[in-house]
């Protein structure tokens, strides 16, 4: 673990007080990423996601400065998370009950702190705290560094998904059993 790294869990109510900080870090990480990574779209996404039952955020700070965060929420039975999924998928794959799947929505680390173990610490802290039977996330197929890291943590690709949002890219859908302990690695 990085010297001075502090991880903290936040509910949606607690996180609303730091909304501008969360958005600023997002914009710094995705600078130049196009309209899909705009401030307006991300603020709308955060607002919608924070309303989900069970939404949880883990922040990473060093000497009082936010250097990264991760958040997600359990998928309810009426979720739209799977809208745009490519077929075929295993039978029952998209059936949710509110306790089956935790959707990891964002994992961000400030560029100056990447490849130092912050992402691993955030990932492990959030996943370890969840009671759902599995977790899912979406990752861009061209993000080789993230894909390598997720693979090392036990995530497996199942299919692809293109969300119904304007300008949304196509993502790989990854799944990880909650029962699997995260593998500790050092980020290169």
Assess if residue 117 is contained within a domain.
Answer: yes
Give the model confidence (pLDDT) of 65-101 as tens digits: 999 999 999 999 999 999 999 999 999 999 999 999 9
Assess if residue 184 is contained within a domain.
Answer: no
Assess if residue 110 is contained within a domain.
Answer: yes
Give the model confidence (pLDDT) of 26-60 as tens digits: 999 988 877 778 899 899 999 999 999 999 999 99
Give the model confidence (pLDDT) of 154-170 as tens digits: 999 999 999 887 778 89
Contact assessment for residue 61 and residue 34, using Cβ atoms and an 8 Å cutoff: no
pTM of the model: 0.89
Assess if residue 186 is contained within a domain.
Answer: no
For residue 101, give the 3-state DSSP assignment.
strand
Assess if residue 187 is contained within a domain.
Answer: no
What is the Cα–Cα distance from 160 to 120, expressed in whole angstroms?
Answer: 24
Average pLDDT, the chain: 91
Assess if residue 188 is contained within a domain.
Answer: no
What is the Cα–Cα distance from 186 to 132, expressed in whole angstroms?
Answer: 26
Residue 38's domain comprises 5-177
Give the CATH number, domain containing residue 19: 3.40.630.30
Confidence of residue 188 (pLDDT cuts 50, 70, 90): very low
The torsion of the CA quartet 117, 8, 57, 27, rounded to 10 degrees, works out to -60
Assess if residue 57 is contained within a domain.
Answer: yes
Query: Given a cut of 50, is residue 187 above it in pLDDT?
Result: no
Tally of domains within the chain? 1
Assess if residue 120 is contained within a domain.
Answer: yes
Per-residue pLDDT, 2: 83
């Amino acid at each position: 673990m990085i010297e001075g790294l502090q991880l903290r869990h936040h509910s949606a109510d607690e996180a609303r007080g730091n909304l501008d900080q969360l958005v600023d870090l997002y914009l710094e990480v995705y600078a130049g990423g196009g309209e899909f990574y705009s401030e307006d779209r991300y603020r709308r996404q955060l607002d919608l996601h924070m309303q989900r039952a069970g939404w949880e955020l883990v922040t990473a700070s060093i000497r009082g400065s936010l250097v990264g965060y991760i958040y997600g929420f359990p998928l309810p039975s009426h979720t739209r998370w799977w809208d745009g999924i490519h077929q075929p998928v295993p039978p029952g794959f998209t059936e949710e009950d509110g306790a089956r799947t935790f959707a990891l929505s964002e994992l961000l680390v400030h560029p100056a702190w990447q490849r130092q173990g912050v992402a691993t610490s955030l990932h492990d802290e959030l996943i370890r705290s969840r009671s759902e039977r599995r977790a899912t996330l979406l990752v861009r197929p061209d993000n080789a560094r993230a894909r390598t890291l997720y693979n090392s943590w036990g995530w497996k690709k199942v299919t692809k998904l293109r969300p119904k949002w304007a300008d949304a890219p196509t993502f790989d859908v990854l799944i990880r059993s909650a029962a699997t302990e995260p593998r500790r690695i050092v980020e290169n």
